[in-house]
Structure 1
Amino acid sequence: MLNEHDPFNAYKQTTLNARAAAATPHEMVRMLLDGLLEEIERTSGFMQRRSFEDKGRSVNKCLNIVHGLDSMLDLENGGEVATSLNRLYDYCSRQLVTASVENDPEALVPIIKVINDVREGWTNLS
């Protein structure tokens, strides 16, 4: 198992940091959406293995990403798109908490659908 001092993990983190530093706002959103989808998959695995401590950390990462995405919205100037995304992110946050409390990986499926749809919309903007 890889630990936090693993050179490969350090390389991955450095590469991610470099990508984030050079990213446009649209690229940053896509990176966050991709990261969220990856973390949801990890959360599901932790739920299935009943690894509650890891699940808790993973759900927290997911919530932080969703809140980060939400905080990037311009609700004053973004019109209906920003308002709709705000509602979707709120739904995802609530659904993540419900899935965690119930330790139900199936409850993550609607979140994955929503985030994939949002990601597709962002991809079509480029």
Structure 2
Amino acid sequence: MLMDSGYDSYQQVDLDAQAASASPHQLVVMLIDGLLDEVERTRGHITAGRLAQKGTSISKCMNILIGLDSALDDEKGGEVAQNLHQLYDFCQMELYQASLNNDVDKLTNVERVMGNIREGWMNFGQQS
């Protein structure tokens, strides 16, 4: 148990260091990566019947989506920001349905949408 705690602490310090030196585009990609990792954990919790952990994971996913959505600038982002808002809402509804019905197919939908958004951010970041 102590080994896990030390490793978790090391990972957190590494993540904090990455975030401190990241550009805004890199931060968005990091958030999406964290979301995708948590969706995979959620899948494991649903499959194993760990309902309390599933709820915690779903909550983390929702919080990341809310954070991504709140960072959108409708004025500067225009149609792109509106489209991202709709996609984040869709993902939140899919997560809600996944949680309610223990439906891992809904998680796959979230992974597809967020994977596509991640790819777009990666391509956008390379152009900047």
What are the Cα deviations for residues 20-61 of structure 1, in whole angstroms up to 9, with x where unaligned? 111111000000011111100000000001100000000000
Q: Offset at 1:107?
A: 1.4
Is 1:56 the counterpart of 2:72 in the alignment? no
Change in Cα spacing, 1:96 to 1:8, as seen in structure 2 (3 Å) is same
Structure 1 counterpart of 2:55, one-letter code: G
Superposition map of 1:24-103 within 5 A: 24-103=23-102
Structure 2 counterpart of 1:95, one-letter code: E
What are the Cα deviations for residues 89-123 of structure 1, in whole angstroms up to 9, with x where unaligned? 01101110111000111111111100000000001
* CA distance, structure 2, for counterparts of residue 91 and residue 4 of structure 1: 38
Structure 2 counterpart of 1:120, one-letter code: E
* CA distance, structure 2, for counterparts of residue 75 and residue 95 of structure 1: 23
Matching residue of 1:121: 120
Please give the TM-score of this superposition, normalised by the length of structure 2.
0.93
Q: Offset at 1:9?
A: 0.7
* CA distance, structure 2, for counterparts of residue 98 and residue 29 of structure 1: 25
Q: Offset at 1:3?
A: 6.3
Please give the TM-score of this superposition, normalised by the length of structure 1.
0.95
Q: Offset at 1:17?
A: 0.8
* CA distance, structure 1, for counterparts of residue 8 and residue 110 of structure 2: 27
Change in Cα spacing, 1:80 to 1:95, as seen in structure 2 (3 Å) is same
Residue 6 of structure 1 aligns to a residue in which SS?
helix
Matching residue of 2:12: 13
State the identity as a percent. 46
Runs of 4+ in 1 over 6 A off after TM superposition: none
Structure 1 counterpart of 2:73, one-letter code: D
Whose helix fraction is larger, Structure 1's or Structure 2's? Answer: 2
Between the two proteins, the alignment pairs up a number of residues equal to 125
Structure 2 counterpart of 1:66, one-letter code: L
Structure 2 residue runs of 5 or longer lacking an equivalent are none
